[in-house]
Structure 1
Amino acid sequence: MSQQFKELSRRRVLMASRMGTTVTIRPGDMLRIGCPVVPDHRGPVRWDYQNHTLKESTWTGPDLSPGQRLGPGQDQGLGPGLGLQYRILVGGRVLEVNTVQGRFSGHYRCQTPIHDNTQLLSAWIHVHAEEFAWSLGDWTACSASCGDRGTRTRRVRCVTPEGREVTPSMCHHLDRPVSSQLACNLHDCPPSWVASVWSKCSTSCGRGWRQRQVSCGQVESGGAVRTLAPSVCGRNTRPADRQECTCDNCPAWVTSPWGKCSGKCLGPTLTVQKRSVICRHFNGTTHPDCDPRERPVSVRNCSSELCDVHWRVGPWRACTAACGSGFQSRRVDCAHRRSGRTLADQHCTWHKRPATWQHCNATTCGSECKDTTHYCAVVKRLKLCPIDMYKQRCCESCLQEDGST
């Protein structure tokens, strides 16, 4: 009879054999054993475990994931502590065994009539459970080089029979040995400088100093510390016993969020928003020592949506002169930005008002005598031609006036 040793995968169905086969699996792996019949086999299949016939399972739950218990289908007739948890699937052709709870190693056999009930098929498989054990590893290095605090331990590992380390959960059902400690390096330490912990900073805000005690000592094998003269340890290697420190626990100005704009909409001095400004220590208490020169402002000008006004400017009109020195104007109104409604100019006086007129076409008109502005009739009627500026702009009209006189 041939035997074959295999490592079972988690989801594979392992077929029993008429010649018999042997497998080794680890606890927690999925164990599914198939009876070697054709897929359309409809005859009854009987499963035996350790020469005990297994009853038909009525459990129809979902497939188990590794580590999940089987429910119904537990044969308790195999003796105390030797119960087998299983279920029979695919019309009896597959036996699924729980390898997490109870016993599962042993001899499995399936039997079923074939060839129109003229022959009896019998196939078997023997399952070995992979064994694990707790093992003590090598001693660790000593935790101290001298004195009385040195210890070493041995790490506890879960291993296979071949000594391969596996996850500790594989040995959870076994009693874990206690890892004992062993004292080591029990001898006097060489003289050295011994420093205490640093004291608190001398100030809670800004720069200060902190100190510690530094002495020359020797730790003996019994744990006692013997004080020695500083010359024994060497003054050149003495650690500092005083150093500068800085603390940021200073009081600071703390501000609240800005409040809403309040007041009449008549300029920055009347429309303001406020916030609280408090000198507060880092622990939340108020403090009087904040620098007043760094105090944030608590009141500022604001412009709410209702008070949002601006100077609205229109387009420049045509220049009063085609050449020479003319001027042009435009309309400038105070208006509400959101609604566009025109307001009295006093509502915008806190904004600089844009110019309403400017010079334009400041160029010479050349030697040709002609009127360059449409006001020349008025200039002629008011007898302003003797004035050089009007005489230049209304050259043609003024020339006609001189000719008529």
Structure 2
Amino acid sequence: MMTEWTSCSRTCGRGSQSRQVACTLQLANGTLVKAKDRDCAGPKPASSQRCEGQDCLTVWEAGVWSECSVKCGRGARHRLVKCTNPRKKCDLSTLPRETEDCEDYSKCYIWRTGDWAKCSVTCGKSMQSRVIQCMHKITGRHGNECFSSEKPAAYRPCQQQACNERINVNTITSPRLAALTFKCLRDQWPVYCKVIREKNLCQDMRWYQRCCETCRDFYAQKMQQRS
């Protein structure tokens, strides 16, 4: 016959507990009387054993710190702290910190974008551009520490109203007479230059300087015809 185990001798950590074990004899009338240990079959059950106290007051479990709340300067980070004591008895005076200050300067430089420029043509399809700069978020200084993979687009397509191919040359406003030393870079009026050439206006220096590429080809063909 065995009694229940007593409480653990320690409320926190390793201890011991005991119980009463006795060999008994049951009489014909049901009464139990104590007998000698050798009268009971089998080994005698243990009357004591080790145990673990369940009332420890410092069983806190802290999780991993989160990332800093800011990527350029001082911020805060957090973690989850919970009481893992089986009876949820943890000493609040030993509670680990759940929040602390932090500093992170990994993303102080960011891409700054300017306004989109006007479409490069007055009719038809073309491109427009904008200025992209790598700048410090706080000081505004230029740098080269921005991530190239995050760089915004500097160009995008744009479309104006459809170009009118039927142009009346008489409605074109005549440009001012420019110096004869004008350096030809490209046609300034690509839409009109074809018409100006067809109307033999390339001979006029005012039109020539606006459509120098087209008119230069015009003069080249004239020279071939004369030879």
Q: Please tell me the TM-score bracket, short chain as reference.
A: 0.3 to 0.5
Higher relative contact order (CA 8 A, sep 6+): 2
Q: Which has the higher strand share?
A: 1
Greater Cα radius of gyration, structure 1 or 2: 1
Q: Which has the higher helix share?
A: 2
Q: TM-score normalised to the size of structure 2?
A: 0.37
